[in-house]
């Protein structure tokens, strides 16, 4: 009798945990295939530290082949699922196509940047969902301060030193907190001629930062940000983004070359192609993470609308904690469907949250106990080290080195603005420079100070087609 074929699509928190748990449970008695665009699992919570030069990029990238035994890795992006034929069609990194047959399928494709119908945002803003975007932001911040140091025009100098972050959730708050410290260090190294310091604005239509957290933790984060010099503007967002800056909903126009979009995420558009019921873009599943009418198909993580059994009528939120634990439940239930063990519904007890605010500052509520200051900073870093499935020693070593050595302020120029567009279904991949338009660009020349940096986020038109990027972005769901 042939071994059952299990295909897992996506290696984010949910997909990676599913693969790791199944590989340990199967002991080689099942063919487990993991389909993912990259050969690593990205530990997203530490991405702001990559953008701020605190961690090297590979520290947040955990090797799939090195940590998942008995799992076959296929590099590619799923673009079609035929549930009747039980196949997944995908496109590889070099354009080749392939098909994977399955007996059990786990959809864990995650999420992408959420877009809102605001003029100019798609063209001039950049998201923060993958390593390419973090690397781009790190280079971009460095370049803006370096250029400002030799700029004679006060308005241009001020615009280069002004950074706007939209979205005061976990990601936006951490990006603003780390980014302000990073650019302050840069301005000390490369002081602008006009004596201008870096300016950071954190915007959100919510009444307070981190609205999903306890008010005490929210107040702690707000206090740290304001003391550091971040302009926290609640009840305010972007009305329009232009080449010169951003127009705020309160009527103020802010001259800036940087617009970081952290307003939230939306499920990967792939789930829409399944033809099954959706809940705000997420694939509806039962408490056992199975797709109704398709007992061989499971879904978990941000792409799945999982019933919250502790709050009837509601669904679990799109957080890394839920995705990580749903991955384990999905693995157990896949094994149970093959006759190994018993299926169980997904339940989760909130263990608390941590928010790294840079330096020794953080806000945390482990097991419901609110903490702030250096104590919260220690708890936050300990939590991340415990949660990471690899690279712990390297991450801890980078933290130690940062405490005793100055950061290296260099721009590598590896990621250009046009390669990390906001409107993309693949934030984990940088756009590939192909086609005649890119040839024309290289003929004309493009260096680290490319003309795109005259616009917020340094937007460029895409140099060539990218798979699934032409899928229309949904509105505010």
Rounded to an integer, what distance in angstroms lies between the CA atom of residue 91 and that of residue 97?
4
Structure confidence at residue 472 (pLDDT): 31
Distances (CA, A) of 70 to 23, 33, 90, 206, 330: 6, 9, 21, 46, 18
Confidence at residue 108, expressed as pLDDT on a 0 to 100 scale: 97
Q: Phi then psi for 292, rounded to 5 degrees?
A: -55, 130
Q: Are 48 and 171 in contact (CB under 8 A)?
A: yes
pLDDT digits (tens, 9 = 90+) for 307-357: 999 889 999 999 999 999 999 999 999 999 999 999 999 998 877 889 999
Residue 193's pLDDT is 78
Q: How far apart are CA 254 and CA 294, in angstroms?
A: 51
pTM listed for this prediction: 0.88
User: Residue 378: which residues within 8 A CB-CB, separation 6 or more?
Assistant: none
- What would you report as the CA-atom Rg of the chain, rounded to the nearest whole angstrom? 22
Q: Say how far apart CA 173 and CA 214 lie, in whole Å.
A: 15
Enumerate residue ranges in the chain where pLDDT < 70. 1, 433-477
**pLDDT value of position 213:** 83
Instruction: State residue 434's pLDDT score.
Output: 59
Q: Which of 263, 254, 257, 308 is nearest to 282 (CA)?
A: 308
Residue linked to tokens 């790791």: 20
User: For residue 99, with 0-12 CB atoms within 10 Å meaning exposed, 13-18 middle and 19 or more buried, which class applies?
Assistant: exposed
State the DSSP string of 188-223.
HHS--TT-PPPEEEEEESSSSSSTTS-HHHHHHHHH
For residue 324 the two structure tokens come to 């990580």
84: helix, strand or coil:
coil
Longest alpha-carbon distance in the chain: 76
Closest CA to 159 of 258, 249, 261, 247: 258
Query: How remote is the C-alpha of 422 from its chain's centroid?
Result: 12
Residues 6+ apart with CB under 8 A from 60: 42, 43, 44, 46, 47, 49, 50, 131, 391, 395
43 contacts 388 by C-beta, under 8 angstroms: yes
Query: Quick one: tokens of 38?
Result: 């990259």
**pLDDT score, position 433:** 65
Question: Cα–Cα distance between 225 and 178 in angstroms, integer?
Answer: 10
């Amino acid at each position: 009798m042939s071994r059952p074929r299990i295909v897992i699509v996506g290696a984010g928190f949910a997909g990676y945990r599913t693969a790791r748990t199944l590989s340990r449970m199967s002991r080689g008695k099942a063919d487990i295939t993991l389909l993912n665009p990259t050969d690593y699992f990205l530990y997203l919570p530490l991405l702001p530290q990559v953008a701020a030069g605190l961690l090297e990029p590979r520290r947040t990238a955990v090797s799939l082949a090195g940590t998942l035994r008995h799992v076959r890795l296929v590099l590619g992006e799923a673009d079609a699922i035929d549930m009747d034929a039980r196949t997944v069609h995908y496109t590889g990194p070099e354009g080749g196509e392939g098909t994977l047959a399955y007996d059990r399928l786990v959809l864990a494709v995650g999420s992408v940047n959420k877009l809102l119908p605001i003029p100019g945002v798609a063209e001039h803003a950049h998201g923060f969902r993958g390593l390419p975007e973090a690397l781009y932001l790190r280079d971009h911040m460095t370049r803006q301060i370096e250029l400002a140091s030799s700029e004679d025009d006060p308005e241009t100098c001020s615009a280069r030193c002004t950074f706007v972050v939209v979205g005061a959730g976990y990601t936006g708050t951490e990006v603003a907190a780390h980014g302000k410290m990073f650019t302050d260090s840069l301005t000390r190294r490369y002081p602008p001629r006009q004596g201008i310091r870096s300016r950071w604005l954190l915007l959100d239509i919510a009444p307070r930062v981190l609205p999903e957290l306890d008010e005490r933790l929210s107040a702690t984060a707000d206090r740290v940000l304001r003391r550091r010099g971040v302009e926290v503007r609640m009840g305010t967002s972007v009305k329009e983004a232009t080449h010169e800056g951003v127009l705020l909903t309160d009527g103020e126009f802010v001259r800036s070359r940087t617009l970081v979009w952290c307003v939230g995420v939306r499920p990967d558009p792939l789930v829409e192609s399944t033809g099954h019921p959706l809940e705000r873009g997420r694939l509806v599943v039962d408490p056992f993470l199975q797709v109704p009418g398709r007992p061989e198909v499971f879904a978990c993580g941000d792409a799945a609308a999982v019933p919250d059994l502790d709050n009837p009528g509601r669904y679990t939120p799109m957080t890394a904690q839920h995705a990580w634990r749903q991955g384990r439940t999905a693995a157990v239930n896949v094994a149970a469907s093959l006759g190994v063990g018993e299926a169980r519904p997904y339940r989760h007890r909130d263990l608390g949250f941590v928010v790294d605010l840079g330096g020794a500052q953080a806000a945390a509520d482990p097991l419901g106990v609110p903490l702030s200051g250096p104590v919260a900073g220690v708890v936050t870093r300990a939590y991340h080290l415990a949660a990471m499935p690899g690279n712990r020693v390297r991450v801890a070593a980078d933290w130690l080195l940062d405490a005793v050595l100055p950061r290296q302020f260099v721009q590598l120029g590896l990621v250009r603005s046009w390669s990390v567009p906001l409107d993309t279904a693949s934030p984990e991949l940088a756009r590939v420079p192909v086609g005649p338009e890119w040839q024309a660009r290289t003929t004309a020349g493009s260096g680290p100070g490319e003309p795109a940096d005259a616009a917020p986020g340094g937007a460029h038109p895409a140099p060539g087609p990218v798979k699934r990027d032409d899928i229309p972005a949904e509105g505010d769901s």
